[in-house]
Structure 1
Amino acid sequence: MEKKQVLWVSRHTMTEDQRKDLERIMGGPVELDVWSDTVRDVEELRPRIRRADAVAAVLPTEKLAELMKITGRRPVLQAKSARVATGRFMVQPGGAAEQEFAFVHQGWQQILDIRIRTRAL
């Protein structure tokens, strides 16, 4: 079975749970093309999008909307996560204790449409 090519746009490394679930929804093994730099202009992703079967991205809404315009028929995917308290606390600089949280993968969703209407204020 040929591996599906997925462009992963995120400053974070994909977790093992995310990857296993991505392989489930892609129907088999995936090869990740990782873009971990800040996306200043989605056009810089275009050459890598052309080689991808899907794009999985962690981007601000405005950038996702721009991305949707250039991906063609390729699905744009977004990981869903829950923020779960670990029961531990971390001491911050200055001595304040802050509760620690872990992000737990809850599945993937396909972005079908993003429309943003704005007006200058």
Structure 2
Amino acid sequence: MEKTQEKQVLWLSRHTMTNAQKTDLERIMGGTVRLVAWTDTVTNMETLRPLIEEADAIAAVLPTEKLAELLELAGNRPVLQAKSARVPTGRVTAQPNGALEREFAFVHQGWQQVLEVRIRARSL
């Protein structure tokens, strides 16, 4: 039986990937995934070119404009985004200003592949 080769995924996010996200990522990538994390703010997408070229896929949490640039640099590599639901925990937390705020947890609901980003805008 042939052993599947580990896939390298570039993870662009300030946050650590959750166990649920990684397990699901391994499902869609067809086996073990090695994450290469970039946790800094992305100011220049070109800086990431060497990491993108080494990756089998890119999973990203980015603003729309940066996501569009990433699609250009990614070529045939899939660009992925995690989908999640915002679920109330039932707890309330006190904010520094004294206001009470309901607490929510983000629950992983799957991955989606970004196929296209189009923006039509005009400055005001």
| Residue of 69, 76, 79 corresponding to 1:76 | 79
State the Cα RMSD in Å. Answer: 0.7
Give the gaps of 5 or more residues in structure 1.
Answer: none
Match of 2:99 among 89, 96, 121: 96
**Aligned residues between the structures:** 121
- Of 24-33 and 94-103, deviating more is 94-103
CA distance in 1, matches of 2:98, 2:39: 33
Answer yes or no: is 1:33 the counterpart of 2:16.
Answer: no
Query: d(CA) in 1 for partners of 2:106 and 2:122?
Result: 34
Counterparts of 1:1-121 in structure 2 under 5 Å?
A: 1-121=4-124
Which consecutive segments of 4 or more residues in structure 1 shift more than 6 A? Answer: none
SS in 2 for 1:49: helix
TM-score by length of 2: 0.95
